[in-house]
Amino acid sequence: MLPRLLALLYLLLLTPGCAWVLWPFRGLPPPLLEVSHDDLPPLIDDLDPGSLRTAIEHSIEFYERGATQTFVAGGHPYSGAEFAAALRPLLAELAGTGDSRTLDALIRSNFRVLRATGQHRPVRFTGYYTPELRASLERAGPYQQPIYGRPPDLMTLDASRIAHGCGCVTGLMAGRMQDGLIVPYYTRAAIERDGALRGLGLEIAWTDDPIGLFFLHVQGSGRLVLPDGQVLHINYAGTNGHPYRSIGRILADRGALPPGGGSMQVVRDYLAAHPLERNAVLQQNQRYTFFRVADTGPVGSIEVEVTAGRSIATDPAVFPPGALAYIRTRVPVIGDDSTVAGWAPLRRLVLNQDAGAAITGPARVDIYFGSGERAEHVAGRMAAEGELYFLVPPRG
């Protein structure tokens, strides 16, 4: 029995989604603080109303699936049905003019305003996108890098259920059975270098871009362009459960990049220029992502399709999934030479529909920018501070 418990504890310590429940920390404000409607800035929206309608419809779909499930926002419990009911009048308005002033008035009269405090840290906004890779359904020619589906021996366990009654652990952890024990799943190095999954028939496709494959793992979904021009959508199907490590930060710690690691494009360029270092560097991020073939584009953590410019990813242990939010920050303007030509204000209503291994804590937001080259450049360079407000149903 003791070896099983020790193995379980090892998994818990390795799993970033599993954390001790320590809030409220002494001396820190709650992650969401209720403010008056006067403290909410004017709800200027800089994106088309059609995309907002689509994103709201997806959140309502999520809430209707969990109509009796409890969601906590600002210390107050809500049912999925309550969240869905609060969003429906916005849909009705968007079916008409979708005027920003009318939406502003409707939200102020029907929603409670919760401001993200960041717990004494600025709220930091980054971006993500849907990568597009060249790929083949057969291993041939330059297509040598496998894109794996979910292995049948990968176990995903709910830590809170295992520690039932403890209240001390949360989130999901991953592992596999070995000699009657649950042990951590294979690391990235074991899979890529040692071939732990080779010969099992798990390959969805092969790509010719090892660096692009790594960023596909980070983003969690993608588009595979086959030699005949056919496009195959692949979505997230799980990870090996190991901690996520930022490659940019690793290179910065080695002095290869400036402090902070630079943008995604800077990391890409460095790896392309140093092919002999590439694999060893990438394998320091032990987390590995598995995929499934899908009929549609990328699906967020709440199992609805994400909407470009409207879906955000946050820590689900901190912020209510599916909820309406308002963000104010800035976004990079990409010039013709694919460099940052400047920065523009970003002001819009968004829906909290995703999560990410690197998006943890009360001061992190990731904005989904869609697919294609422009989305990649914007997402890869997006790094700015800003404001985050959640708009939730009123009490009672």
Q: What is the pLDDT of residue 9?
A: 41
pLDDT of residue 264: 84
d(CA 58, CA 353): 9
Domains and CATH numbers, the chain: 32-128+302-392 (2.40.40.10)
pLDDT of residue 14: 42
Distances (CA, A) of 293 to 51, 133, 149, 232, 234: 25, 14, 8, 7, 4
Residues 295, 296, 301, 302: is their CA dihedral positive or negative? negative
> What are the structure tokens assigned to 388, written together?
């985050």
Tens-binned pLDDT, residue by residue, of the chain (396 aa):
434 443 444 444 444 333 323 344 456 889 999 999 999 999 999 999 999 999 999 999 999 999 999 999 988 999 999 999 999 999 999 987 667 788 999 999 999 999 999 998 999 999 999 999 999 999 999 999 999 999 999 998 766 555 555 545 445 678 999 999 999 999 999 999 999 999 999 999 999 999 999 999 998 899 999 999 999 999 999 999 999 999 999 999 999 988 866 778 889 999 999 999 999 999 999 999 999 999 988 999 999 999 999 999 999 999 999 999 999 999 999 998 888 999 999 999 999 999 988 899 999 999 999 998 899 999 999 999 999 999 999 986
Report d(CA 353, CA 330) in Å as an integer. Answer: 21
Q: How far is CA 114 from the centre of its chain?
A: 21
Q: What is the pTM of this model?
A: 0.81
Q: What is 180-221 written as a DSSP string?
A: TEEEPPPPHHHHHTS-TTTTSS-EEEEES-HHHHHHHHHHSE
Write out the two tokens for 243. Answer: 């901690």
